[in-house]
Amino acid sequence: MEGLSYAWQALTTTPAVFAAMGGVVWGILGGALPGISPSITMALLLPFTYTMDPTTAIVMLASTYVGAEYGGSIPAILIRTPGTNAAAATAIDGYEMQKQGRGGEALGISLVSGVIGGLIGLFFLVVLTKPLAQVALLFTPPAYFALGILGLSVIASLSSGSLIKGLMAGVIGLMIATVGTDPISGVGRFTYGSPELLGGIPFILVMVGVFAVSELLVQAGMPDWVKGGEAQTRIKLPSFAMLKRLRKPQLIGSAIGLFEGCMPGAGGSIAAFMSYNEARRWSKHPEEFGKGSPEAIAAPETANNTVAGTALVPMLSFGIPGSNSTAILLGGLLIHGLQPGPLLFEKHPDVIYGLFGGLFVANTSLFFIGMLILTPAIWLVNRPKPYLMAAIYALIFSGIYSIDHSLFDLYLVLIAGAIGYVMRLFGFPFLPLVLGLVLGYLIEANYRRSLLLTGGDHIVFIQDPVALGLLITALVFVAGSAWRDIRSAGRKAAADKTDGSAPA
């Protein structure tokens, strides 16, 4: 009841309601643009949240995530180009339905399934977050250090690409986090007399650079995406009979979204494809999949919007983001001096419950906004790419400058963008780097605090049962991933030897 009271207060005394709706609009438009992922859409918004109150800022960012997960299905259905990775599964049958003249029906199923998935995800977010955060109350400095290491290890082992590159990206992120003034002794590290670096490298600059600027650099060398023409498509909401048919795939999508969302490194796209496969397995009409099956749209769209809610569980409970988008959200919290975890519930319940309330508004308003915004979204997708990319470039520079009014920051963003481009080129995942940067302070401060308690004896990390358990779990993840890599390479080499085909 107290939570409801906080949520009501946040919604009625702050601009959180407008932030929720604005975030959904921004998210749908951003998600609809191919190449602009939910995390990039959120990263572009991040500088503007500096001047907002914490609740409004977090609600807007989270609502952007909600909107973007639906927005990605618009071009997926209309022009077979998913706006987000999570919409790739939707494109399979969605575009088939569009070709059959049923594009409006596909969009309606996507919208309704997205709303249902989002509300289910929100329910589990509310139910699971506080109990898990209470577990974190048992954490001592050694345990927090171990939690940071576990977070990095899990993300590095589950990210795309090789484990070694994931771990290297995490280490690079931690290295960037060491730039600035040492938190314990006040000594300058890697500042070389530059006053701008004394405060460290703000992670927002790295996030925007690595996600948004590097994408612009990639898009500069790519051809324009396929346009859908100016023909208008109107949303057609599913009938009651259709809704009845869609119950099973939506249930499958929400169950998989719940599980995948809580798992670090999993995310919407894995949940979407798993849901697609399971929905086909359990469908009474599996032969329709791939040819325009409504169930094939309902399952992945429910899944990816469920993930938009449940992915916040590990981030809010422990402060460990499990995806690029939740890493941006964590950045939004840290900008306002809010550290996720049990203390956030104790010290700032208004922010947490305000977020829950805001997400409720976002998911319910998605239904109406989704219908109204279709025409502008289609118009935007059909705009010439040069103008869109140029506008995003200008938005990045203007937004980042608004933080500290510093041109130095803009140079750092460009450098981060170049690093992001090189990382893409050589197969290094982004998330471990971002996580290393965001968790760097937590890891170092708790490591040194732990050793202060014991006079420098590292035995403290083994004597603390929670820390030991977390470190062993980290080791298991890394070892398991290494074993998987080795087996995969061995199997590939054996397969090539057997059939004499060229190695990829």
Partner 1 sequence: MTRDAWIGVVFLAFAVIYWIAADGIRISPLDGPVTAAGLPKSLAYALGGLAVLLILRSLALKRMMAGTQARPAAAAAAEEAGPSDSHAHLRALGMLALGVGYLLVVPFLGYILSIVGLLLAASLYIGARFGVKTAAIAGLGGVFFYLLFVQFLHIPLPPGLWPDLLRSLQG
Residues that bind partner 1 (CB under 8 A): 48, 51, 162, 164-165, 167-168, 171-172, 174-175, 178, 182, 184-190, 213, 216-222, 224, 384-387, 389-391, 393-395, 397-398, 401-402, 405, 407, 410-411, 414, 417-418, 421, 425-426, 444, 447-448, 451-452, 455-456, 489-490, 493, 496-497, 500-504
**Minimum distance between the CB of residue 41 and partner 1, rounded to whole angstroms?**
17
Q: Could you please report the per-residue DSSP string of 179-191?
A: SEE-TTT--EES-
Nearest to 155 by CA among 315, 326, 321: 321
Nearer to partner 1, 47 or 103 (CB): 47
Nearer to partner 1, 284 or 501 (CB): 501
Two structure tokens written together for 53? 């109150």
**Minimum distance between the CB of residue 452 and partner 1, rounded to whole angstroms?**
4
d(CA 222, CA 92): 23
Nearer to partner 1, 1 or 501 (CB): 501
Residue 181 φ/ψ, nearest 5 degrees:
-95, 130
Nearer to partner 1, 386 or 480 (CB): 386
What residue has token string 């807007």? 60
**Minimum distance between the CB of residue 394 and partner 1, rounded to whole angstroms?**
5
Nearer to partner 1, 232 or 488 (CB): 488
**Minimum distance between the CB of residue 358 and partner 1, rounded to whole angstroms?**
21
**Minimum distance between the CB of residue 268 and partner 1, rounded to whole angstroms?**
27
Nearer to partner 1, 123 or 393 (CB): 393
- Count Cβ atoms within 10 A of the Cβ of residue 394 and give its class: 0-12 exposed, 13-18 middle, 19 or more buried: exposed
Which residues, in sequence order, are bridge partners of residue 188? Answer: 181
Q: Which amino acid is at 29?
A: L
Nearest to 144 by CA among 430, 345, 440, 352: 440
d(CA 374, CA 121): 24
d(CA 148, CA 152): 6
Q: How many CB atoms lie within 10 A of CB 195?
A: 8
d(CA 260, CA 444): 29
**Minimum distance between the CB of residue 500 and partner 1, rounded to whole angstroms?**
4
Nearer to partner 1, 134 or 463 (CB): 463
**Minimum distance between the CB of residue 489 and partner 1, rounded to whole angstroms?**
6
**Minimum distance between the CB of residue 199 and partner 1, rounded to whole angstroms?**
16
3-state DSSP call for residue 178? coil
Nearer to partner 1, 219 or 326 (CB): 219
**Minimum distance between the CB of residue 77 and partner 1, rounded to whole angstroms?**
26
Helix (H) and strand (E) counts for the chain?
Answer: 25, 2
- Helices (DSSP H) in 2-83: which residue ranges? 2-13, 16-32, 38-45, 54-71, 73-79
Nearer to partner 1, 55 or 450 (CB): 450
Nearer to partner 1, 76 or 216 (CB): 216
Nearer to partner 1, 195 or 221 (CB): 221
User: Is 309 within 8 Å of 261 (Cβ atoms)?
Assistant: yes
3-state secondary structure 35-53: CCCHHHHHHHHHHHHCCCC
C-alpha 335 chain-centroid distance: 17
**Minimum distance between the CB of residue 230 and partner 1, rounded to whole angstroms?**
17
3-state secondary structure 232-253: CCCCCCCCHHHHHHCHHHHHHH
Two structure tokens written together for 264? 């670090």
**Minimum distance between the CB of residue 356 and partner 1, rounded to whole angstroms?**
28
